[in-house]
Amino acid sequence: MALIALGRPDEGAARLEQLANSVDGGSVEQRAEYLTQSGNAWLQAGAPEAAIVTFTNALKLKPGIPDLLVDRASAHLMLEDWAEAKEDLDRAITLAPNMSIARQLRAEAHLNLDQLNLAMADIDAAMAADPENIDTLVLRGRVREAIRLSKVRVLSPEIID
């Protein structure tokens, strides 16, 4: 954790992962926590592929934890792997329907998959849970603009003449 605090998240992530995988790494809960911290450090380091592996290993130890699913989805979003992110977020929302961050991130995935009505539904749910979240408000603007643009008819050259 000190390495992460010192601005060396990649080294801290690797050490936490080693600790989780060592013979004396502690209980299942402790190992899952080390892997979760490692995954978040990998995200900080800009290594979403490593984060996905680490979060997946944490989920093997502690399956069905909504926060872990959201963390792994964040790594998928960094890679612009919208479908995988959406799958993790669907599971997280099934487990924790009022989790606003999961709704917000799934709206981002829906937006990038051009599923604008689904994106707006998730925005509405995220806003109901946390109406002043600036990231959700900005995303709502992006979704509204995408909806507006989808309704604009592109005039062909024949119509202009």
List Cα–Cα distances, 142 to 30, 109, 116, 119, in angstroms. 40, 12, 10, 10
Confidence of residue 13 (pLDDT cuts 50, 70, 90): confident
Nearest-5° Cα angle at 83, 101 to 95: 45
Residue 55 confidence (pLDDT): 96
Region 87-112: mean pLDDT is 96
Domains of the chain, residue spans = 1-63, 82-151
Confidence band of 122 (pLDDT split at 50, 70, 90): very high
Same fold, 1-63 and 82-151: yes
Check pLDDT > 60 for residue 129: yes
pTM (2 decimals)? Answer: 0.84
In this structure, the number of other CB atoms found within 10 A of the CB of residue 96 comes to 17
CATH of region 1-63: 1.25.40
Q: What fold does the segment set 82-151 form as a domain?
A: 1.25.40
Q: What's the CA gap between 97 and 93, in Å, rounded?
A: 5
Alpha carbon 72 to its chain's center: 6
Place 159 in a pLDDT band, splitting at 50, 70 and 90.
low
3-state secondary structure string across the chain: CHHHHCCCHHHHHHHHHHHHHCCCCCCHHHHHHHHHHHHHHHHHCCCHHHHHHHHHHHHHHCCCCHHHHHHHHHHHHHCCCHHHHHHHHHHHHHHCCCCHHHHHHHHHHHHHCCCHHHHHHHHHHHHHHCCCCHHHHHHHHHHHHHHHHHHCCCCCHHHHC
Return the higher-pLDDT residue of 23 and 88. Answer: 88
Per-residue pLDDT band for 139 (boundaries 50, 70, 90) equals very high
